[in-house]
Amino acid sequence: GAVVSQHPSWVICKSGTSVKIECRSLDFQATTMFWYRQFPKQSLMLMATSNEGSKATYEQGVEKDKFLINHASLTLSTLTVTSAHPEDSSFYICSATDPGGVGYTFGSGTRLTVV
């Protein structure tokens, strides 16, 4: 089936630095990629929807200048957390529509800790 490879799986960074998370669709073209965030004991919350070649659509309350999304190719979408602060520490995960299967295909997620 379709696979989305997400890296890194975990990252620790200092407050004020930026972190980039990558999601690659390995065997299909992901026209649309969704980025979610999950805080402890909470549900996956959609942050933004990115479409290849166009600007991402951000959900209400998500700062687009802080969470930069780039979807420059059909197989790669990136999320950059700029000037990260401890409150950005969370679990981030991407997903894409599985063209040949059921539902959406997810990456394995990235645990971000900002110290």
Partner 1 sequence: ILNVEQSPQSLHVQEGDSTNFTCSFPSSNFYALHWYRWETAKSPEALFVMTLNGDEKKKGRISATLNTKEGYSYLYIKGSQPEDSATYLCAFMVGSGYSTLTFGKGTMLLVSP
| Residues near partner 1 (CB under 8 A) | 4, 6, 9, 34, 36, 41-46, 49, 93, 95, 98, 101-109
Which of 27/85 has CB closer to partner 1?
27
Which of 82/97 has CB closer to partner 1?
97
Distance of closest approach, residue 47 Cβ to partner 1, in angstroms: 11
Tokens found for residue 101: 């299967």
Distance of closest approach, residue 103 Cβ to partner 1, in angstroms: 3
Which of 4/114 has CB closer to partner 1?
4
Question: Can you spell out the DSSP letters for 80-112?
Answer: EE-S--GGG-EEEEEEEE-TTSSSEEE---EEE
Residue 10 CB-density burial (10 A; 0-12 exposed, 13-18 middle, 19+ buried)? exposed
Distance of closest approach, residue 55 Cβ to partner 1, in angstroms: 16
Distance of closest approach, residue 100 Cβ to partner 1, in angstroms: 12
**Residue 47 · residue 58 · CB < 8 Å:** yes
Residue 107 CB neighbours (<10 A): 25
